[in-house]
Amino acid sequence: MQKRKLGNSNFEVSALGLGCMGMSFSYAPPFPDKQEMISLLRTAVERGITFFDTAEVYGPFTNEELVGEALAPLRDQVVLATKFGWKIDPSTGKNVGLDSRPERIRQVADASLKRLRTDVIDLFYQHRVDPNVPIEDVAGAVKELIQAGKVKHFGLSEAGVGTIRRAHAVQPVTALQSEYSLWYRKPEEEIIPTLEELGIGMVPYSPLGKGFLTGKMDESTELKSGDFRSTLPRFTPEARKANQAVVDLLTAIGKQKNATPAQIALAWLLAQKPWIVPIPGTTKLHRLDENIGAVSVELTPDDLRQIDEAASKIKVEGDRYPEQIEKMSGL
């Protein structure tokens, strides 16, 4: 597995990370068997993946516990990223809004350390920007955690340019995690140039379009009750029918390269910048191996031009989130 550094931070991770959310959260239950997921996580390490992404709110709590149990015996071989920033009702376990007050950040850090069975969080992201807490206070709280040895690196998620600059002035931001893929390219407008200027790495989540870019879904695919994608405008049957053109493009390039659509989607992201590290999620070993195979797919400048030209003629249909969720994004 190739390695990459996130920005100018000297923070080295595998060229692909593993998003762990779907192992215990967000898609339709029943969730995969816990022991199977522990085995998958450990196999990922054997395959060369060192970068694992979780969050307090996934579950809540259960995803961090899973990652902690699976990777504790391999802790010296892996990098753990988790996130703070939500208010969780202790009586119901439900996420009830944003909360990035410094005292809450400190509480989450201590609780996450226990669940992850570690003495340090390698990368601690603010999950969503909290409009009620100045980002300088957030960055300052994480700076104190870094000084205390509980956290190594500070990250932001779905933050806008102004927020990134203000946070970075207080505590250098190592990575921004935001959605980025061939069917969501808005970060190219302002975010990626800003990250390049400041020396911040990028960690694209949903690099496979929440599964759509794998080519295993179409307009007739039935989403189970409880699958969060059923609430997304981009996943209505009509939108999926219109957006099939993106998958057709990936499939056509894949045939030229002896690769799957998913591998082309990931290889395209890896080819954009040397400090971009996608974190595709999966619960299946064959998908893990398929995703890892993307690192070996070489897209030439001509290939990338061909993809860009074809993609520019495709209008992606449907917003990526309902309006109230999209408002939480700082992009």
Q: Looking at the DSSP assignment, which residues form a beta bridge with residue 182? A: none
What angle do the packed helices 102-115 and 135-147 form, to 10 degrees? Answer: 40
User: Of the candidates 44, 75, 11, which has an alpha carbon nearest to the alpha carbon of residue 203?
Assistant: 11
Spatial distance between the Cα atoms of 213 and 199, rounded to a whole number of angstroms: 29
Residue type, 243: N
Judge whether 205 counts as a catalytic residue.
no
- Is residue 80 within 8 A of residue 117, CB to CB? The reply is no
Write the Ramachandran bin of 277: left for phi over 0, alpha for psi from -120 to 50, otherwise beta: beta
Given 27, 58, 180, 184, the catalytic residue: 58
DSSP-assigned states of every residue in 10-39: --EEESS-EE-GGGTSSSPSSPPPHHHHHH
Distance, in Å, from the CA atom of 272 to the CA atom of 307, rounded to the nearest integer, reads 12
Q: Which residues are catalytic?
A: 58
